[in-house]
């Protein structure tokens, strides 16, 4: 990984994924790379929301607006802290597919994702989202568990 030009960071906006996004921003700064944060709204969660609420279009728009605002806030925070122009991508669908597809489309040299304990059963039987991204991606994947302290 001598020179990185494009980095894709998957984020669910949780604390572990914020650590990963910060690590990705530090690496992007060091290498002069383009950084894109990818957040996926799970389509099944939105379908569940539609069934529970009568005004599903308004509810879906509110969920999407909230996610877009939170993603934008993270991108602005990282951009200001590290002196970068951080791109954002909000998609609806399956997280693993969305991240790996965007990594291919963007020609990513690296995909960065956070990890968090999924529990023994889920970790052994299903695997975490980060592990599934690593298995499905044709790109190198860096899985970050802790907050970075240096590039």
Flag whether pLDDT at 22 surpasses 90.
yes
What's the mean pLDDT in 18-46? 89
Domains of the chain in start order, with CATH, are: 6-144 (3.40.50.620)
- How is the beta sheet containing 86-92 ordered, strand by strand? 86-92, 34-41, 6-10, 110-114, 141-144
Residue 142: predicted pLDDT: 92
To the question of pTM greater than 0.75 for the whole model, the response is yes
- The share of the chain scoring above pLDDT 70, in percent, equals 81
Measure the CA–CA gap between 147 and 116, rounded to whole angstroms: 12
Q: Following DSSP, what letter does each residue of 110-128 receive, concatenated?
A: EEEEE-----HHHHHHT--
Comparing 79 with 124, the larger pLDDT belongs to 79
Comparing 135 with 47, the larger pLDDT belongs to 135
Residue 109: predicted pLDDT: 97
> With contact defined as beta carbons under 8 Å apart, do 9 and 113 qualify?
yes
Flag whether pLDDT at 126 surpasses 50.
no
Nearest to 28 by CA among 102, 104, 79: 79
């Amino acid at each position: 990984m001598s020179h990185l030009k494009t980095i894709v960071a998957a984020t669910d906006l949780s604390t572990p994924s914020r650590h990963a996004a910060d690590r990705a921003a530090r690496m992007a700064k060091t290498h002069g790379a383009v950084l894109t944060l990818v957040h996926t709204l799970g389509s099944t969660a939105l379908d569940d929301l539609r069934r529970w609420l009568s005004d599903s279009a308004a509810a879906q728009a509110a969920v999407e607006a909230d996610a877009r605002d939170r993603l934008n806030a993270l991108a602005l925070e990282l951009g200001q802290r590290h002196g970068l122009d951080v791109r954002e991508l909000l998609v609806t669908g399956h997280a693993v597919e969305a991240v790996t597809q965007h990594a291919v489309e963007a020609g990513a040299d690296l995909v960065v994702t956070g990890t968090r304990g999924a529990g023994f059963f889920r970790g052994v039987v299903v695997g975490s989202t980060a592990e599934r991204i690593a298995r499905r991606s044709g790109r190198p994947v860096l899985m970050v568990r802790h907050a970075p302290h240096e590039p």
